[in-house]
A and B are shown apart, each in its own frame.
Chain A
Amino acid sequence: MVTTADHGTAIETPKVETWQPRIVAFLCNWCSYTGADLAGISRIQWDPSVSIIRIMCSGRMDPTFVVKAFRLGADGVIISGCHPGDCHYQEGNYKTLRRVHLLRRLLVGFGIDPERLRLVWVSASEGDQWAETANDMAREIRTLGPLRLET
């Protein structure tokens, strides 16, 4: 029933108790969330360290959600929206783009590596791109290590 991923490296399943990254992904309803569902329907495997929160549009992303996520223990945050020009609400993704640009600089100020925040565009038919994004981010965060932000 399950198919293995046919791209990227093999997913590591630790046998002993090791630190596992916790990554939160905010996905827009119309493109990215649907795309992630498609990955599921197609049984394309991706790293379980990524959990998805659904919002209607990537434009809903308040930068404080990202900071809050890090404070609550997330080691990485993904924001995913529709491709530029294809936003279901016309322009929301452009707003996200510019907020994320600014936010990255602030993260540096907070001592958080801006690589821990990733903004991607995944369309409703791009199930495999979603899986690749999740896997790639998990790999990246494993390399960066836990954030351990003091609350």
Chain B
Amino acid sequence: MTTMDEPRIGVYVCHCGFNIAATVDVEAVRDVAAEQPGVVCARDYEFMCSNAGQDLIKRDIEENGVNRVVVAACSPLMHEPTFRAAGEEAGLNPYLVHIANIREQCAWVHEDRVAGTAKAESLVNGAVARVALHEPLEAAHADVNPTTLIVGGGIAGIQAALDISDAGNEVYLVERQSTIGGMMARFDKTFPTLDCAACILTPKMVSADRRENIHLLTESEVESVEGFVGNFKVTVREKARFVTADCTSCGECIKVCPVSVPDPFNQFMSSRTAIHKAFPQAIPSTYTIDRQGKPPCMEACPIHQNAAGYISLIAEGRFSEAARLIRRSNPLPFICGRVCYAPCEEICSRENVEEPVSIRALKRFAMDWERDHEPDAMPEPPEHDYAEKVAVVGSGPAGLTCAFDLATTGYNVTLFEKHDRLGGMLAVGLPSYRCPPWIVERDIDYVRKLGVDMKTGTELGRDFTLGDLTDKTDGFGFSAVFLAIGAHDGIPLGIPNDDAAGVISGIDYLRNINLGLPQETGARVAIVGGGNTAMDAARAARREGAEVTVLYRRTHSEMPAEEDEFEDAVAEGVRFEYLVAPVEVLVSDGRLRGLDCVTMELGEPDASGRPRPVPIPGSNQEREFDTVILSISQRPDTKWYGNGENKTRTLAFSDWGTLEVDAESLRTTLPNVFAGGDAVLGPATVVEAMGQGRRAAEAIDRYIRGRPLDQFSSHMPPADPGRGFEERPFEQSPSYRDIPTAPRAAMPKRPVADRLGDYEEVDLGYSEEDARREAQRCLHCGVCAECRACSEICPPKAVQLDMQDTVTTLDVGQIMVATGFKSFDSHRITQYGYGRYDNVVTSLEFERMLNATGPTGGKVLCKNGDAPRAIGIVHCVGSRDEHYNRYCSRVCCMAALKFAHLAMERTDADVYQFYIDIRAFGKGYEEFYTRVLSEGSTVIRGKVAEVVPALKRNGGGPHLIVRCEDTLIGKYREIPVDMVVLCNALEPQADADEVGRIFSISRSPDGFFMERHPKLDPVGTTTDGVYIAGCSQGPKDIPDTVAQAQASAARVLSLIGRGQVLIDPVRATVNEKLCGGCKTCLSLCPYTAITFDEEGEVAIVNEALCKGCGTCVAACPASAITGAGFTDEQILAELTGLLAPVG
């Protein structure tokens, strides 16, 4: 609706008492305004916002035909609504009223009356020019959704929830922790009445739980908020608890959980189990499992072995359960416990403290214990009874694992092995001092117990072909085949005479020794290569009595061998030479004489990423050797392939000779033939081969049952498992620096002198005490170790470990944010010794000590268990401090007095308080202060300079000295105490800026959420419909928090009561005649309020979504978009009026 009527402007200049009139000549401003075009009357008045002032305006509108109003007064943020309402009451559209800010932005900030007045005149001129172009605007109405969202389940959130629910409205209470109650739940007594905090809090918590219209969403966080007041759409993520509501809080699970971590509720002063309830009166009372992702050791393991689980059980001496847990995911645990290269240890977080946990050795310990105490372990019976048969070729770790898994699933498995001994590389490659034959037999026996048929001395190629296996009419009729033939052919060096007698590949050498076949070892042996096979061959040759030299072409840091193997080889007398490689085998009479070696130097990196060794020309040297063992690599034996094979069946091989398979399903080019292990990976490790065997078993099962070959549940380690411990939020765990160091338990070994005489085991295994102690070094990176003891024991079967997070969208009308505070980190003030000296505690730690449910059962005790003889309470730790927080935390003085009172009540200690000022401002506070003084607490006015440990003479004396000034007597003092309590500051939550952004709440300079007005609107924010309360707005005590909560609730209820909100008409509209369809505006709108009408080829603004920022208005090249209330013309008119010369 456009008014074409002549603007008749009324200008009203406010004195605002002295506020404006002192520095601005308001009469002069009035007179200048009266001269401006369009102005029909100009008035000044003491207080325009008063009824009389507003009446001036109304009368001019009603009687003098004023149809535009300028009020030159305080900020529009203060009184724009007031004057708009006045206009409306007189029948004028409220948007025809404009405010010129001559107070906050003029009178109050310019001392110079001349300059201030001139500026006020310009501002008014600008306002007059602008308002002449104002048009009436109609505000739309929107309904208000009566449901409310409260974020934060502390006392503020709970109180507000109860109040809003009392009025019959729905409330969603979202809380990040597993229980509501917030910080108040951690207190013992509250000042000044000394009410027990839990006693007054828990009835409200229970109430909140019981009310039908209050919905508790714990372990939940708000992810995003969209919409506007009365109509918000909030996305909330509820984290999985892993325990359903069937939980009866019986506590059986806690008895069996082996994981103990520092308890954040008790400020890390005691421990709690992974499955837990935060405190006895927690609401909801359902337990929760603290799971911080998968432990990195489990992620890094190719068979997803749950190391954290069995380690936790070993730490508690529950060895039988540990062995059973190991067997749940590992069919070859004896082997792994001795020879696995332990990728888990490489990623173990304990390395950040001193060294990784000795995971492999602990597994060995558990299995050896089982051998000695429960030797008849039986595998679980198969899940199904399938008719199909599967063939596995090769009895190495890949083949055995595949066979085990398939048999457990229910298939009939036959294992074919070409040698007379089962085990593949385990039997023929690994020497017995590392992998004793009895462990291979034991693990294979376990697989056999599942009914796997194992045929030895049966060779692929010689005794049967691949086709025979699968042929249904003339062959065996297997439904699928798994090729796990390993990589048993040594790769030749490719130098002249490398096939001479006396030269042998490492793999053949070891096989002959292991199988007891004839193998000569000369007096002087050279080993060429630097991998594990080279180490094995070297150490075996030493046992055969030779003098052994390892020739490696790069340097030690590029050697792929395990460091343990290398160290043992060195201990056993193997000599190592680096940057040397043979270029020719020297022979005489067709037999090895020695090697011609050249010196190498390191050049640019090659394909493996390691520096390429480059021979130095002319550096040849003749060396004499009796036996040369080449251990440079292996590849699969493929002689069987193409041996009378049907030529239409083709397998693919890589350039290195390994079988090519699909990366996920391990299937070859033949649909029913799968392959894995060294045959596919090249010479790899036992556990990697097992991982492939496991994956192949799953793939074969799906293939046979006709299910798709993707989305496998069996594990392939991710590229970067990550280190778990430090990723936990600080509130949940201390950091590495707080962990006391404990060295890794050394593996007892046979003395070197004894070793060389035989092939008996070198590593002897941990004792029970060593194993338990070593297991206790585990940091519980993922907290829950997934041992499943809880789910097995839970009587109502409430534990559900596969629970997922749920994400819901809530429609609410108003939001209250009451997210509380965090404590200042007292480590930062190093001179107070927190974290370094025993018995320096924070206020929350002292609270927990005082609490009957706390770590000391309510007794105030020093670290060593003695009662303190003197306690020093330090005020203002991190508050009122230029270095940390300048503000006062408001509650600490009263908390300190409370601590003093309780300490004197419960101990005989002398209590000292070190204060700057005593802030006892509230109801009953001063009286409490006087009372505590009369009870005998000594107060010393002066800041504490430092806390130092006291020198102990003859074992007695105080623990700590507090060094402070006493300003009232003007002296430096040293006060001996046994305990220091730091009253540390209240700070905004660590993620306050993120939370602020989600809810569009600004922050004050100190970081707390900003109220709309510190005096008149302490619970509102600049975003309509979003309110704040409690310590998230600033430090405060419980009475003030509850008051704010109720204030917030009242605001919410008033909005609900109104039922409707006005939608600001400051919005953009597209003039379709001018729009050229360039679409520039579309991508600019953050609310996606602009769409393109394909038919009309113009942009259209959705009024409901547009928030009126004006970005599109500014961007439109055709000036086709109008920003109502802030049009180009209006702004330019204001600019013109402002800059026009005055007077």
Contact = CB atoms under 8 A, between A and B. Distances in A.
Counting chain A CB atoms within 10 Å of each CB, which of B108, B1005, B1115 scores highest? B108
Interface string B11-26: 0000000100011000
Given A33-B77, A45-B109, A60-B1114, A69 B1135 contact: yes
A112 to B, nearest CB: 16
Contacts of B996: 86
A24 B1136 CA distance: 11
Contacts of B112: 13, 48
Nearest to B75: A37
Contact of A74 (B1004, B1022, B1139): B1139
Contacts of A59: 1109-1111, 1114
Contact of B1139 (A31, A33, A62, A69): A69
Interface stretch (B118-126, B505-513, B869-877): B118-126
B922 interface: no
Counting chain A CB atoms within 10 Å of each CB, which of B111, B119, B1002, B1084 scores highest? B1002
B1139 A73 contact: yes
Given A51-B123, A62-B1128, A126-B1005, A57 B1110 contact: yes
Interface string B1102-1137: 000001111101110000000100101001101110
A57 B1135 contact: no
Contact of B1084 (A64, A88, A95): A95
A121 interface: no
Given A43-B109, A52-B105, A68-B1135, A57 B1109 contact: yes
Interface string A79-93: 000000110111110
Contact of B1131 (A55, A91, A92): A55
Interface in B428-478: none
A67 to B, nearest CB: 11
Counting chain B CB atoms within 10 Å of each CB, which of A11, A63, A123, A124 scores highest? A124
B203 to A, nearest CB: 38
Contacts of B119: 48, 51
A55 B1128 CA distance: 11
Interface string A21-41: 010100000110110110111
A131 to B, nearest CB: 7
B814 interface: no
B997 interface: yes
A124 B1009 CA distance: 11
Contacts of A69: 1135, 1139
B1139 A22 contact: yes
How many interface residues does chain B have, given as a range? 35 or more
B1000 interface: yes
Contact of B126 (A20, A31, A53, A57): A53
Given A53-B126, A124-B1010, A89 B1111 contact: yes
A45 B1010 contact: no
B1110 A40 contact: no
B1003 interface: yes
A81 to B, nearest CB: 11
Contacts of B657: none
A30 B109 CA distance: 20
Given A60-B1113, A65-B1132, A90-B1086, A125 B1005 contact: yes
A52 B1111 contact: no
A86 B996 CA distance: 9
B1002 A89 contact: no
Contacts of B105: 36-37, 40, 52
A48 B110 contact: yes
A22 B1128 CA distance: 21
A76 B776 CA distance: 69
B1086 A91 contact: yes
A102 interface: no
B1066 interface: yes
A72 B1111 contact: no
Nearest to A123: B1002
Contact of B116 (A43, A48, A68, A86): A48
A60 B1126 contact: yes
A56 B1126 contact: yes
Contact of B1136 (A61, A72, A88, A99): A72
B392 to A, nearest CB: 58
Interface string B100-140: 01011110111110011011001100100000000000000
4 smallest CB-CB distances across A and B, nearest first, come from: A40-B104, A60-B1110, A59-B1111, A89-B1109
Given A48-B116, A53-B126, A56-B1110, 9 more contacts: A13-B112, A40-B108, A48-B118, A62-B1113, A69-B1135, A72-B1135, A92-B1109, A95-B1115, A124-B1002
14 contacts: A2-B108, A11-B111, A34-B1022, A48-B106, A48-B119, A52-B105, A53-B1131, A54-B76, A56-B1066, A56-B1108, A86-B1002, A88-B1022, A125-B1004, A126-B1005
